[in-house]
Structure 1
Amino acid sequence: MAEEKDLKYRNLFLGLLFDGIGMLSFVIPGIGEFSDVIWAPIAGWLMTRLYKGKIGQAAGLVTFVEELIPGLDIIPSFTIMWLYTYVFSSKKDKKIES
């Protein structure tokens, strides 16, 4: 149980960090869009490492595309995936158990 909680908060911290890195391209005008070409595949791969299975693969693909398309960096895909995994899916699982 403690391991699950540690993993949950580790993923939250890493997700916020990775979303922050993805948004850094807005800070450096001109260079930012070039950095997205480098960051997009890394972000997609990191997403598949944080979240296993088909849902992680789908999220990795969405993250890759989101980071690659100019202007969409503002979307916090890692944080959204964390919310989906640990908040919304948890509620659904609890309803099924009841």
Structure 2
Amino acid sequence: MSKYKILALSIFFDALGYVSFVFPAFDFVWAPLSAFLMTKLYKGREGKVAAAIAFVEEALPFLDVVPTFSLMWLYTFVFSSKTSISNP
């Protein structure tokens, strides 16, 4: 999967997290799903750590404004020397 496709998915998933501002119960579904999706987009230890952060961030109220997926993309493709992405 190309890094720009992962970026598009990351932005989409971050935007999807904002649904809980309108429907707070959405967090019950989105928190574990976001953690699962994070591990699928980003492999290795970094992906697991990001998944745990994404779960906590989505489960706790008022932290949904943090764009966890997009920050992970920046870390992986801009600031990190190695790229750990998933293969289709």
Q: Quick check: TM above 0.5?
A: yes
Confirm whether residue 55 of structure 1 aligns to residue 46 of structure 2: yes
Report matched runs for 1:64-79 at 5 Å.
64-79=55-70
TM-score (ref. length: structure 1): 0.79
Aligned residues: 82
Runs of 4+, deviation exceeding 2 Å: none
What are the ranges of 5 or more consecutive residues in structure 2 without an aligned counterpart? 83-88
RMSD after superposition: 1.2
* Structure with higher RCO (Cα < 8 A, 6+ apart): 2
TM-score (ref. length: structure 2): 0.88
Rg larger in structure: 1
Partner SS state of residue 81, structure 1: helix
What are the ranges of 5 or more consecutive residues in structure 1 without an aligned counterpart? 1-5, 94-98
Q: Residue in 1 aligned with 2:17?
A: 22
Q: What is the CA distance between 1:77 and its match in structure 2?
A: 0.1
